[in-house]
């Protein structure tokens, strides 16, 4: 378990930064070396065609060394996305703050959020596939991204209820999970590659589901 991630004020302390904390400097160098090597090999041959032994060999490092830094391949992949994930979070948090200031409603913010997320996933589908391989029951660390997404989504849904955009009895927890389920990397990949859906279509479809939740009939 290499990433001692912490959730701080709804913001994610990502693994990359954990590197600095009390890590021997030869180890830190190796971590960087491993990440750089993995990134190179992944780019060259695709994530699924590169194995840990190859990374170790190319980085001139023992396999044990990799596993000391990274719990498994998924964790390594997660670490490779760390900075970009942090960026995404910061950008979105900032954007949402701004929207709130401009009185954009929570549900509209959710639309924006999901739309941006679709594009983020597109950019990182291969790595995400590996990260999410073990499903949602795996190591806690690997689920941190999911938890953040869930927190953000359910947060916006709750705000929407407060503002009266959504019915108060809505099962926020469930709905957030369900919406995000359709953005799991393997489903997403299937929709892109087999169904041939465009990003716009996926985003629009997802937002249709959100739109449907709007307060109208209390049933």
Is 20 near DNA (CB under 7 A)? no
Is 60 near DNA (CB under 7 A)? yes
Residues in binding contact with a copy of itself, number by CB under 8 A: 37
Q: Which residues contact 1 (CB under 8 A, 6 or more apart)?
A: 71, 75, 139, 141
Is 170 near a copy of itself (CB under 8 A)? yes
Q: Residue 43 binds what, of a copy of itself, DNA, none (CB under 5 to 8 Å, by partner type)?
A: none
Distance CA 217, CA 191 (A): 31
DSSP states along 13-42:
E-HHHHTTTT--HHHHHHHHHHHHHHHHHH
Distance CA 17, CA 180 (A): 26
Is 184 near a copy of itself (CB under 8 A)? yes
Instruction: Choose the stretch contacting DNA; rule: CB under 7 A; options: 8-16, 50-58, 183-191, 198-206.
Output: 50-58
Q: Which residues contact 28 (CB under 8 A, 6 or more apart)?
A: 19, 20
Identify which of residues 12 and 71 has a Cβ nearer to DNA in the complex.
Answer: 71
Identify which of residues 73 and 124 has a Cβ nearer to DNA in the complex.
Answer: 73
Q: Which residues contact 81 (CB under 8 A, 6 or more apart)?
A: 124, 127, 128, 131
The residues of the shown chain that bind a copy of itself, judged by CB under 8 A, are 129, 135-137, 170-171, 173-175, 177-178, 181-182, 184, 186-187, 189-191, 193-195, 197, 201-202, 204-206, 208-209, 211-214, 216-217, 219
């Amino acid at each position: 378990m290499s990433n001692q991630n912490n959730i701080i004020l709804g913001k994610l302390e990502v693994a990359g930064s954990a590197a600095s904390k009390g890590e021997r400097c030869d180890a830190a160098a190796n971590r960087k070396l491993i990440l750089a090597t993995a990134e190179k090999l992944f780019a060259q041959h695709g994530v699924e065609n590169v194995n840990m032994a190859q990374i170790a060999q190319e980085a001139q490092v023992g396999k044990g060394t990799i596993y000391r830094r990274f719990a498994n391949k998924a964790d390594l992949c997660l670490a490779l996305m760390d900075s970009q994930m942090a960026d995404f979070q910061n950008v979105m948090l900032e954007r949402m703050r701004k929207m709130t200031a401009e009185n954009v409603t929570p549900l509209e913010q959710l639309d924006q959020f999901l739309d941006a997320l679709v594009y983020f996933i597109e950019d990182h589908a291969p790595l995400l596939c590996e990260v999410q391989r073990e499903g949602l029951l795996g190591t806690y660390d690997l689920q941190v991204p999911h938890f953040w997404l869930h927190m953000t989504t359910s947060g916006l849904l709750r705000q929407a209820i407060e503002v009266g955009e959504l019915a108060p009895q809505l099962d926020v927890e469930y709905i957030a999970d369900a919406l995000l389920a359709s953005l799991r990397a393997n489903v997403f990949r299937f929709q892109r590659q087999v169904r041939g859906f465009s990003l716009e279509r996926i985003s629009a479809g997802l937002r249709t589901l959100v739109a449907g939740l709007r307060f109208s009939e209390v049933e």
